[in-house]
């Protein structure tokens, strides 16, 4: 009894310490202020408008480079100084531009954003390839994802060249035309670097943005810097049987076995839940910005509450689950072609996103073991491992943080897990580091509309995005 009392008192002491630490932690605010230069914002938006007006939807069935070369021509008109000064390489519709620096032996940096966009279906407020500018926003497919990124670093280089600036190292601007379909555009650019024995110091790509209210209880705008990308896998789970007429069904038909398998996976996730440095850094950095004292206490005292968060976050937040573990989502299914026939074969497909500490092989082995219990086969369709992580103590993250703090002085920097896919995954192992951050501010609505209808972006975010890329280039001096 005394031992139990001592344990209870010890736990209460730990809770009291955690609570006091949260109380004395100074409250901070994080907010974004767009450019006040309305003329510059509109001038930039009109340039971006011309890029949006070139329809560059990529397709696995027919990815004709003609439309992308049309965009190249438009960009040559928009950024004449870049294309008259720099080397241009057209790699089957993808674009690679080299701006020579003072020291060609110094490792270069590569700024990348893709040229292709997803289809624009549904009823839009304004035509999806018009680039309509209204009420301080530019609408159109690619306005946010991600022609704004291509525009911003080309404009940055255009202005720096006109100013007479010469970079310390070579600067490359790389834009694939197959990112949205996971095609070979970026791999071909990476091969170009390999063939020329060039290992870049840093690749800057999309992945995170400046986003608002990242979770309940935390208000403000935060710069989410993606430090690694989860692996990707599409799999097919197949059930076979004897088939037959539905009027005399047997037990454990293919669809029934698939249902049991799905139910087991959905009811209790079989994957490990762990905190990566990215997630720990994100939550710790968010602590001073929490409006809720309980949340602030938890985030500021991960040494005590991490075991609880491991259990709670996956249960209450899909985003939380995605950052802490491998995920699996069932997406397609097929059985019989008739309503009164038991199929001889049925299947479901699933999309998996692998976390680094439980990668492709281990995660797939877990799924196969569960499938075997129900006499199911698992077939890999496409699979790739997670990328390596950006070193939070390394020079590339330090430069990124320094550039953000200069251009967006009131915005807090957060390490972030990229749960989707970007072109930078193809650079993994071929460069020193990949930084996944698009320097534009987006609302929840704009983030949600990224691949949906009415994709749009505030035009007052464009001047600051241009200044961010200028700063990244200048920070190469003396490294």
Model pLDDT for residues 293-331, shown as the tens digit of each residue: 988 999 999 999 999 888 888 776 777 778 899 999 999
Comparing 312 with 458, which gets the higher pLDDT?
Answer: 458
Q: Cα(473)–Cα(475) distance, rounded to whole angstroms?
A: 5
Q: Cα(161)–Cα(82) distance, rounded to whole angstroms?
A: 7
**pLDDT of amino acid 246:** 77
Residue 441 has which token pair? 């501010």
Percentage above 70 pLDDT, the chain? 100
Pick from 355, 353, 354, 348: which is nearest to 330 by CA? Answer: 348
**pLDDT of amino acid 15:** 86
Residues 6+ apart with CB under 8 A from 323: 276, 278, 279, 313, 417, 419
Percentage above 90 pLDDT, the chain? 81
Helix or strand or coil: residue 460? helix
Residue 260 has which token pair? 């049991």
Q: Cα(448)–Cα(291) distance, rounded to whole angstroms?
A: 24
DSSP line for 368-424: HHHHHHTTEEEEEEEEEPPPPPPPTTSHHHHHHHHHHHHHSTT-EEEEEEE-S--GG
Q: Average the pLDDT over 401-430 and give the result.
A: 95
Q: How confident is the model at residue 215 (pLDDT cuts 50, 70, 90)?
A: confident
Tokens 């749009």 correspond to: 456
Predicted confidence (pLDDT) per residue in 63-117, tens digit: 789 999 999 999 999 999 999 999 999 999 999 999 999 999 999 999 999 999 9
**pLDDT of amino acid 187:** 97
Q: Cα separations (Å) of 344 from 261, 335, 370, 381, 397?
A: 18, 8, 21, 21, 54
Task: Give the Cβ contact number of residue 356 at 10 Å.
Answer: 19
Alpha carbon of residue 381 to chain centroid: 22
Q: Cα(459)–Cα(135) distance, rounded to whole angstroms?
A: 9
Strand 221-229 versus strand 412-418 pairing type:
parallel
CATH of 38-215+388-474, one of 3.40.50.1980, 3.30.70.1400, 3.90.1150.10, 3.40.630.10: 3.40.630.10
User: pTM (2 decimals)?
Assistant: 0.91
Tokens 């935390």 correspond to: 218
Q: What is the largest CA-CA distance in the chain?
A: 83
What mean pLDDT value characterizes the chain? 94
Q: Cα(394)–Cα(413) distance, rounded to whole angstroms?
A: 15
Q: Cα(348)–Cα(239) distance, rounded to whole angstroms?
A: 9
Q: Cα(468)–Cα(479) distance, rounded to whole angstroms?
A: 18
Residue 419 has which token pair? 């749960």
Predicted confidence (pLDDT) per residue in 216-232, tens digit: 889 999 999 999 999 99
Predicted confidence (pLDDT) per residue in 139-194, tens digit: 999 999 999 999 999 999 999 999 999 999 999 999 999 999 999 999 999 999 99
CATH of 230-384, one of 3.40.50.11930, 3.40.50.720, 3.30.70.360, 3.30.1330.40: 3.30.70.360
Q: Which of 149-153, 247-251, 298-302, 449-453 has the lowest mean pLDDT?
A: 247-251
- Is there a contact between 187 and 426 (Cβ–Cβ < 8 Å)? yes
Domain boundaries, the chain: 38-215+388-474, 230-384
């Amino acid at each position: 009894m005394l031992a139990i009392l001592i344990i209870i008192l010890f736990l209460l002491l730990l809770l009291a310490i955690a609570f006091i630490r949260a109380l004395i932690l100074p409250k901070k605010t994080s907010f974004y202020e767009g450019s006040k230069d309305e003329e510059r914002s509109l001038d930039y938006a009109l340039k971006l408008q011309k890029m949006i007006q070139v329809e560059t939807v990529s397709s696995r069935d027919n990815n004709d480079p003609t439309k992308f070369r049309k965009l190249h021509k438009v960009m040559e008109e928009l950024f004449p100084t870049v294309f008259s000064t720099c080397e241009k390489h057209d790699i089957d519709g993808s674009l690679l531009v080299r701006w020579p620096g003072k020291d060609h032996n110094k490792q270069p940096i590569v700024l990348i954003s893709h040229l292709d966009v997803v289809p624009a279906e549904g009823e839009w407020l304004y035509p999806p390839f018009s680039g309509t500018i209204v009420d301080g926003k530019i609408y159109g497919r690619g306005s946010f994802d991600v022609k704004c990124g291509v525009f911003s670093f080309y404009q940055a280089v255009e202005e720096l060249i006109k100013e007479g600036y010469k970079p310390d190292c070579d600067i490359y601007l790389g834009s694939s035309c197959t990112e949205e379909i996971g095609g070979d555009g970026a791999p071909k650019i990476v091969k170009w670097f390999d063939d020329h024995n060039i290992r870049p110091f840093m690749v800057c790509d999309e992945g995170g943005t400046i986003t608002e209210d990242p979770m309940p209880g935390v208000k403000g705008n935060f710069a989410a810097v993606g430090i690694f990308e989860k692996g990707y896998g599409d799999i097919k789970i197949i059930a076979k049987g004897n088939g037959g007429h539905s009027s005399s069904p047997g037990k454990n038909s293919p669809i029934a076995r698939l249902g049991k398998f799905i139910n087991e996976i959905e009811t209790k996730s079989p994957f490990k839940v762990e905190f990566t440095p990215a997630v720990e850094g994100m939550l710790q950095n968010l602590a001073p910005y929490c409006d809720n004292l309980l949340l602030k206490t938890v985030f500021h005292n991960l040494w005590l509450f991490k075991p609880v968060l491991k259990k709670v976050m996956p249960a209450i937040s899909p985003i939380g689950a995605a950052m802490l573990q491998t995920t699996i989502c069932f997406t397609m299914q097929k059985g019989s072609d008739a309503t009164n026939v038991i199929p001889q074969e049925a299947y479901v497909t699933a999309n998996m996103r692998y976390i680094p500490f439980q990668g492709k092989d281990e995660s797939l082995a877990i799924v196969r073991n569960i499938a075997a219990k129900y006499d199911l086969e698992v077939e890999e369709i496409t699979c790739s491992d997670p990328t390596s992580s950006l070193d939070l103590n390394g020079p590339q993250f330090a430069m990124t943080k320094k550039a953000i703090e200069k251009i967006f002085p009131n915005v807090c920097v957060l390490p972030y897990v990229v749960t989707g896919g970007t072109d930078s995954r193809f650079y993994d192992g071929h460069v020193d580091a990949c930084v996944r951050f698009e320097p534009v501010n987006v609302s929840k609505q704009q983030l949600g509309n990224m691949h949906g209808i009415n994709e749009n972006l505030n035009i007052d975010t464009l001047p600051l995005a241009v200044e961010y890329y200028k700063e990244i280039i200048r920070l190469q001096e003396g490294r």
